[in-house]
Every structure is written in structure tokens, then in C-alpha cells.
């Protein structure tokens, strides 16, 4: 686990190369986890609004900072949650439904669906602010056996869309099946 200065150094280095939105999540065997997010904001006051939209019984905001980037201000936010399926209980994730279910041969199937009422066609000025892509990276507590995203390191899945493409879609599906690492009697991976 990175200490706070090391985590911020990592985030700042990612921001130097990132143009768009990045959501990085690490889940444990019980569906709890942490998520780091980085995305464009128009003004510093937006950070407080984002925190308010994230906070709730299901999510704890661990940190929320603003960073200067070539394209303007960026929010860099880290949250923790006890159950990934309850993310939609907050206003920030109200259009995201996450489910966890038992799969075949002891696997777990994690599915996230982003739904919007309408498609949005972003103009070039907005795209210049928001960046080129949306990237969602999820590290799972076991070996990935199937996904509609790109699998790396055996337990990490990445979904990437062009920013314009992401906002044009009214429904986005992300799914992954993984074989959980067995827990020891103390509840930690064995």
C-alpha cells in the first residue's frame, strides 16, 4: 500500500500523461474497495460539489484535491466503499448499476452498467477540456477468466473509450468473471 506522499506522486505522474477521465478501482473478496478518480473540473468550487455528490452511507471520501494540468484544473479524488454494488446510492454514481453474482465453477461475475437518458454529442471545445478518453481500470481479488475489457496481469481489467464515443452511448456495459482467491481462516487471501 502506498503512503500518502507516494500516492500523490503517482497521481501527479499519471496526470502528466493523462488526457481524459481515469477511474482506478481495487476490490477485495467481499466486494469492498478503493477507487481513485481523475477528471477535468471547470473551477475549484466544483471539487466541493463532487465531494457532496460522492459522500453517503456507502462511500467515504478519503481525499479530494485539485491539480493543475495542461488542459486546466483536474479533480483527483480517492474513495473507499464497503460494497461496490451500493455505489449507485450516491448522486455521483446514480446512473451506474453494479452487480456481483456467483458464476460457474466458483467464479464471481461483476457487471457494471452506465445508463443515460440521452446521448450527448460533445463539441471540440468541450472535448479539448475533458480530454481524449475515458478509462476504467479494475483490479480484482482473483484471476480473470472472462471479460469484455482488456485483461492484464491476470487480475486487472481495463475498459477504454474515446471521450466522444463514451458520451454518445446511452448504455455502457462492463463485465468480468473472475476466480476469487480462497480466504484463509482469518479472512485474508491464502
Quick: pLDDT tens for 108-158.
Answer: 999 999 999 999 898 888 888 888 899 999 999 999 999 999 999 999 999
Tell me if 133 is assigned to some domain. Answer: yes
Record the cell numbers describing residue 9, joined without a space: 506522486
Tell me if 190 is assigned to some domain. Answer: no
CB 79 within 8 A of CB 59: yes
183 CB-side CA count, 13 A? 8
- Using CA atoms, how far apart are residues 108 and 29, in angstroms rounded to an integer? 10
Tell me if 35 is assigned to some domain. Answer: yes
| Residue pLDDT, tens place only, 7-65 | 333 333 333 334 589 999 999 999 999 999 999 999 999 999 999 999 999 999 999 99
Tell me if 186 is assigned to some domain. Answer: no
Q: How many domains does the chain have?
A: 1
In sequence order, what E strands does the chain have?
20-27, 33-40, 59-69, 72-81, 96-102, 108-115, 133-139, 142-147, 150-152, 156-162, 171-180
Tell me if 67 is assigned to some domain. Answer: yes
82: left (phi over 0), alpha (psi -120 to 50) or beta: alpha
Tell me if 189 is assigned to some domain. Answer: no
CB 162 within 8 A of CB 121: no
Q: Which long-range contacts (CB under 8 A, 24 or more apart) does 61-64 make?
A: 62/34, 63/4
Tell me if 187 is assigned to some domain. Answer: no
Structural domain of 19? 4-180
Confidence of residue 189 (pLDDT cuts 50, 70, 90): low
CA distances from 128 to 48, 122, 160 (A): 23, 10, 18
Amino acid at each position: 500500500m502506498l503512503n500518502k506522499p507516494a500516492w500523490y506522486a503517482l497521481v501527479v505522474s499519471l496526470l502528466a500523461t493523462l488526457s481524459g477521465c481515469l477511474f482506478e478501482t481495487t476490490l477485495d473478496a467481499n466486494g469492498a474497495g478503493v477507487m481513485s478518480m481523475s477528471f477535468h473540473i471547470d473551477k475549484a468550487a466544483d471539487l466541493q460539489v463532487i465531494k457532496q455528490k460522492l459522500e453517503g452511507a456507502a462511500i467515504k471520501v478519503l481525499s479530494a484535491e485539485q491539480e493543475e494540468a495542461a488542459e486546466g484544473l483536474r479533480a483527483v479524488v480517492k474513495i473507499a466503499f464497503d460494497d461496490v454494488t451500493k455505489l449507485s446510492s450516491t448522486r455521483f454514481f446514480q446512473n451506474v448499476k453494479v452487480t456481483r453474482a456467483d458464476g460457474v465453477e466458483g467464479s464471481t461475475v461483476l457487471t457494471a452498467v452506465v445508463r443515460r437518458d440521452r446521448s450527448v454529442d460533445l463539441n471540440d471545445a468541450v472535448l479539448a477540456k475533458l480530454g481524449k478518453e475515458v478509462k476504467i481500470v479494475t483490479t480484482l481479488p482473483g484471476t480473470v477468466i472472462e471479460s469484455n475489457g482488456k485483461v492484464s496481469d491476470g487480475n486487472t481489467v481495463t475498459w477504454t473509450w474515446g471521450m466522444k464515443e463514451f458520451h454518445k452511448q446511452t448504455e455502457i456495459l462492463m463485465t468480468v468473471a473472475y476466480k476469487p482467491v480462497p480466504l484463509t481462516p482469518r479472512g485474508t487471501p491464502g
